A = this chain, B = another copy of it.
Amino acid sequence: MKGTSKKSSVRTWIVEDNDMYRQTVAESFEGHPQISLSQNFPNCEELFDFIESGTENPPDVLLMDIGLPGMSGIEGVKQLKEARPGIQIIMFTVYQDNDRIFRALCNGASGYLLKNSTAEEIEKAIFDAVEGAAPINPQIAKKVLEMFFTVQPPANDYGLTSREKEILELLVEGFSKKKIAGQLYVSFHTVDSHIKNIYTKLQVNSGNEAVAKALREGLI
């Protein structure tokens, strides 16, 4: 269906500066019936040269080290994703710090494996990636979740009434008191009173502060 012609083999390349490690990975896929690890590079520069030479079509999946000489794997992901968005890139690294994880994923990496992964895990990750999924090492996934789902205090709403929330929302949208009054078909004075109450409840004393507090604490 849908014209997705099943490929006989997932074409995979690897960028890894440690010669021995690169060879080991390459060899572990030799003779693999569904994965052909057809090219490997010691750094990003050679990868890009090869792609631009047009000698061979780009791969389906790329395993990318992060700690590379010259251009880092993080920067490599960014540039490769810009040039060839279709390639699924799996980071393949020893680094587990939030900053590298964040930047790699920001730049468009589809997966993030640690170098202690078994050949089976790498194999599964390649299949996952080519199917549009995101193979992420559970330890890394934990950090990603922590980055975004940090247990936030359940959105203190400062006891704002629904009317006050409504007006706060319009304030955030940039409307003046007069415009808000028009929008809600009430008098300017009413809006003014509500805003006074909002300021008191939020413990602020200017529109700017109220808007900042509302946006920062997700009050709207």
Contacts and interface: CB of A to CB of B under 8 A. Distances in A.
B105 A176 contact: no
Q: Determine chain A's interface SS by DSSP, over half rule.
A: helix
Interface residues of A, number: 36
Given A133-B138, A133-B139, A134-B138, A209 B145 contact: no
Given A172-B208, A206-B176, A105 B145 contact: yes
A128 B136 CA distance: 12
Nearest to A78: B154
Nearest to A104: B149
Given A212-B215, A215-B212, A174 B134 contact: no
A15 interface: no
Contacts of A212: 172-174, 211, 215
B142 A133 contact: yes
A125 B136 CA distance: 13
Contacts of A59: none
Interface of A: 105-106, 108, 110-111, 125, 128, 132-139, 141-142, 144-145, 148-149, 151, 171-174, 176, 204, 206-209, 211-212, 215-216
